[in-house]
């Protein structure tokens, strides 16, 4: 215990005995009559430096599907000689790497596998971690090979080689190295269209093909435009019948598009409804998609939109957020025709429409 007279701000230092036990200790500040002012916990731990100097590199740093990457390990003892005969483990894993290009900020490059599901979801289940074991040679070196799965059209993945080397006492020393897996030569993107467009008017759709480093490249792409139709069917559930909406896709356009960096297609939606634009490598299953709604008062049919069978009104906005002064376009999807009251509210009703 140290006692001192403190001014407004004071620094007090003390030395811990070399024989002190490791663990949590509490520092307390008390007044002269032992009234606790404040306290703080500190941890005393014994620091033991690593007995090994370990470096891990991945070679090559960029690979393609079905190619092999090697995790090269070099281990030296604390005072310099090679750490020969040391056991090591290397665990390889893959994870998604998002892609964007600063020269194309308004483009969507997210890869999907259908039904709005990301093709990069659950990568750990698609590609389980793989472990390699070995022992360093007389020079303190070791290598662990890993063959990349033969996957296509998943953008660029980040691979990790997590190495664990054990010293003579069995204490582990961990290091890691990363590498890139380029599963496609061209990254396709679609310029964001916007949530709501008018029927009977052409919509300009811009596409782009980039290298994995974000540079324009020449490539052939498959462009598909589908319209989503909603059919109401009567289904039996146990001893009762219920009405359910089922989605059906109608392909409106399916063509190959030769891109020299940027390409364009003009499309005129004839009917109200939900549309999806897809771009992919020909014969690929994964694609990049952009969605939009088209609406025209005289071009709407009963199967144009999904409706709620419980009588709820679904509201779709043309943008996720707005700046002050902007105009919001709202699409109201109702379960039956009729007159509808729309209110704009915050702490009170700001406006209303019929």
- Banded model confidence at residue 169, pLDDT cuts 50, 70, 90: confident
Report how far Cα 251 is from the mean position of its chain's Cα atoms.
29
pLDDT at 350 over 90: no
pLDDT in tens, 132-161: 999 999 999 999 999 999 988 999 999 999
pLDDT in tens, 179-209: 999 999 999 999 998 778 889 999 999 999 9
∠108-123-112 over CA atoms, to 5°?
Answer: 30
Residue reference for tokens 């690979």: 63
Instruction: Name the nearest CA neighbour of 32 among 4, 12, 55.
Output: 4
Predicted local distance difference test score (pLDDT) of residue 5: 61
Instruction: Name the nearest CA neighbour of 193 among 257, 262, 258, 266.
Output: 266
Predicted local distance difference test score (pLDDT) of residue 246: 79
Paired tokens of 284:
């690929």
Q: How far apart are CA 266 and CA 289, in angstroms?
A: 16
| Structural domains of the chain in order of their starting residue, each with its CATH number | 52-99+125-182 (2.60.40.1940), 187-353 (2.60.40.1930)
Q: How far apart are CA 305 and CA 296, in angstroms?
A: 12
Instruction: Name the nearest CA neighbour of 67 among 58, 77, 54, 55.
Output: 58
Q: What percent of the chain has pLDDT over 70?
A: 91
pLDDT in tens, 282-298: 999 899 999 898 888 77
Q: What percent of the chain has pLDDT over 90?
A: 45
Predicted local distance difference test score (pLDDT) of residue 349: 87
- Banded model confidence at residue 306, pLDDT cuts 50, 70, 90: low
Report how far Cα 242 is from the mean position of its chain's Cα atoms.
38
Q: How far apart are CA 315 and CA 200, in angstroms?
A: 23
Instruction: Name the nearest CA neighbour of 175 among 52, 79, 83.
Output: 52
Of 311 and 102, the structure prediction assigns the larger pLDDT to 102
Cis peptide before 35 (omega within 30 of 0): no
Q: Residue 291 in contact with residue 311, Cβ under 8 Å?
A: no
Other CB atoms within 10 Å distance of the CB of residue 181: 22
């Amino acid at each position: 215990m140290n006692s001192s007279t403190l001014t407004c701000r004071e620094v007090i230092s003390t030395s811990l005995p070399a024989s002190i036990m490791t663990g949590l200790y509490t520092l307390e500040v008390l007044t002269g009559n032992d009234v606790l002012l404040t306290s703080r916990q500190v941890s005393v731990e014994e620091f033991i430096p690593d007995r090994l100097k370990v470096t891990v590199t991945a070679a090559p740093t960029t690979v393609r599907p079905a190619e092999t990457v090697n995790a090269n390990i070099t281990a030296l003892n604390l005072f310099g000689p090679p750490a020969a005969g040391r056991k090591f483990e290397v665990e390889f894993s893959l994870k998604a790497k998002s892609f964007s290009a600063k020269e194309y900020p308004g483009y969507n490059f997210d890869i999907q596998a259908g039904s709005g599901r990301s093709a990069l979801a659950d990568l750990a289940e698609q590609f389980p971690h793989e472990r390699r074991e070995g022992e360093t040679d007389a020079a303190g070196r070791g290598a662990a090979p890993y063959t990349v799965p033969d996957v296509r059209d998943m953008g660029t993945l980040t691979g990790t080689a997590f190495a664990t080397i054990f010293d003579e006492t069995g204490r582990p020393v961990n290091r890691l190295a990363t590498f890139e897996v380029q599963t496609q030569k061209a990254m396709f993107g679609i310029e964001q269209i916007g949530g709501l467009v008018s029927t009977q008017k052409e919509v300009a759709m811009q596409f782009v093909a980039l290298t994995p480093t974000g540079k324009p490249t020449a490539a052939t792409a498959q462009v598909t435009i589908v319209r989503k139709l909603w059919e109401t069917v009567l289904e039996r559930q146990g001893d009762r019948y219920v009405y359910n909406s089922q989605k059906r896709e109608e392909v409106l356009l399916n063509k190959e598009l030769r891109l020299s960096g940027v390409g364009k297609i003009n499309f005129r939606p004839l009917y109200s409804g939900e549309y999806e634009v897809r771009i992919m490598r020909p014969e690929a299953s994964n694609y990049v998609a952009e969605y939009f709604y088209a609406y025209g008062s005289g071009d709407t049919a009963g199967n144009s939109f999904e409706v709620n069978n419980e009588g709820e009104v679904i509201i779709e906005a043309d943008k996720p957020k707005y700046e002050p002064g902007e105009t919001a376009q709202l699409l109201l999807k109702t379960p039956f025709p009729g007159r509808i009251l729309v209110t704009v509210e915050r702490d009170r009703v700001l406006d209303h429409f019929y």
